Amino acid sequence: MQYHRYGGSEVLAVEEVEEPHAGPGRVRIAVRATGVTPADWYLRSGMLQDFVSLDLPHVPGMDAAGIVDEVGEGVTGTAVGDAVFGLVPFVDQGGAAAEYAVLEAWAPKPRSWSFGEAGGAAGNIDTATRVLEALDAVEGMTLLIEGAAGGVGTITAQLARARGLTVIGTASESNHGFLKGLGVVPVTYGPGLADRLAALAPHGVDVVLDAAGKGSLAELVAIVGDPHRVVTIADFDAARHGVRFSRSEAGESPGWAGLPLAADLADQGRLTVPLHAAFPLKETAAAHDVSAAGHARGKIIITVP
Ligand SMILES: NC(=O)c1ccc[n+]([C@@H]2O[C@H](COP(=O)([O-])OP(=O)(O)OC[C@H]3O[C@@H](n4cnc5c(N)ncnc54)[C@H](OP(=O)(O)O)[C@@H]3O)[C@@H](O)[C@H]2O)c1
């Protein structure tokens, strides 16, 4: 699946391309599923052109699960035939919405997850781990997640619960039952959040993840009382509020260590990947459009035949 120019989802097309190969320290997989993240359609639309210049044509997709069919020089502990899930080399390069993809960081696929669930997990585990580390999130704290019902929110909430935190998450009313099922105390987002939280967390909130980027940073900082205890992954106005913006960078990420830990949690039945919708590769455009509608409940994935 690729596009030759920026534009709406109609620029996406299935085409024949050269197979990628595993370089040193990497593996190639025969892809069974890949995740869709908002960045896939931000990049495709061209809205990030000033910050990220894609080498067009571009194959979208930043994480995937599948069967290892090439092992690069220097890789130990992974063999051809292993089922794994992981991240493509520096995510902006894409490449996962394809029959074969190269992974730079990976872990064994948990037995308890389908390939679809595993295919949509790695990016959000990387992000959640990076953010929880940045917030020094430890047992006993209360974490507030703005935008808890989406891909990042659902994974961050469960990883935080596994670390022993109490998690309060904002979502629309229709997602409150869903969040409760993940062990999250739900609350509605929007004006008056501080008042609603006062009733839910009388001892206050210790740390905040803004996973929505809907302009609520001023209120989130006021709630926690210190901008250093807020991290956003989605609000480009972060610096104005003294808030850290966390994003993936080229090279090793602190989030990679989260992949094997998350796989262990999954096999203990403590980490699920709720799927909002699954589309076959040829319907990637529809998957991008559903993501762009902004109300995914969990993860959107693409399955590869
Ligand atoms: N910097 C990074 O490393 C990084 C990594 C991954 C993602 N991101 C960014 O983080 C954001 C979230 O990503 P995602 O994959 O979790 O997206 P997603 O799966 O599309 O999440 C959408 C969620 O946003 C919620 N939402 C919509 N309007 C909201 C509002 N006003 N307040 C609070 N929540 C609201 C929706 O809940 P309701 O349906 O209940 O409204 C829905 O569950 C995106 O902007 C993405 O680009 C950044």
Q: What is the pLDDT of residues 135-173, one digit of tens each?
A: 999 999 999 999 999 999 999 999 999 999 999 999 999
Element (H, E) at 8: none
Averaged pLDDT for residues 96-113: 97
For the Cβ of 212 lying below 6 angstroms from any atom of ligand 1, the answer is: yes
Please tell me if the CB atom of residue 233 comes closer than 6 angstroms to any atom of ligand 1.
yes
**Mean of the pLDDT values across residues 280-290?**
98
The CATH H-level (homologous superfamily) assignment of domain 125-245 is: NAD(P)-binding Rossmann-like Domain (3.40.50.720)
| pLDDT average, residue stretch 4-30 | 97
Residue 204 predicted with pLDDT over 70 = yes
Q: pLDDT class for 52, splitting at 50, 70, 90?
A: confident
Region 31-46: what's the mean pLDDT? 97
9-121+273-303: CATH superfamily: Medium-chain alcohol dehydrogenases, catalytic domain (3.90.180.10)
Q: In this structure, what are the phi and psi dihedrals at residue 128, rounded to the nearest 5 degrees? A: -60, -40
Distance 191 CA to ligand 1 centre (A): 18
pLDDT at position 280 is 98
Closest CA to ligand 1's atom 22: 150
- Mean pLDDT, rounded, of the chain: 96
Average pLDDT over residues 270-298: 98
The number of angstroms, rounded, from the C-alpha of 126 to the middle of its chain's C-alpha atoms is 7
Distance from Cα 77 to the centre of ligand 1, integer Å: 35
Instruction: Assess whether the C-beta atom of 120 lies below 6 angstroms from ligand 1.
Output: no
**Would you place residue 91 in the very low, low, confident or very high pLDDT band (cuts 50, 70, 90)?**
low
Higher pLDDT, residue 238 or 252: 238
By mean pLDDT, which of 4-18, 85-99, 134-148 is the weakest? 85-99
Task: Show the tokens assigned to 270.
Answer: 């403590």
Residue ranges of the domains in the chain? 9-121+273-303, 125-245
Atom of ligand 1 nearest to the CA of 152: 16
pTM of the prediction?
0.98
Per CATH, 9-121+273-303 and 125-245 having the same topology is answered no
| Nearest Cα to Cα of residue 301 among 271, 270, 280 | 280
Q: Which atom of ligand 1 is nearest to the CA of 171?
A: 40
What separation in angstroms does the CA of 132 have from each of 56, 159, 261, 263, 286?
A: 34, 9, 14, 17, 32
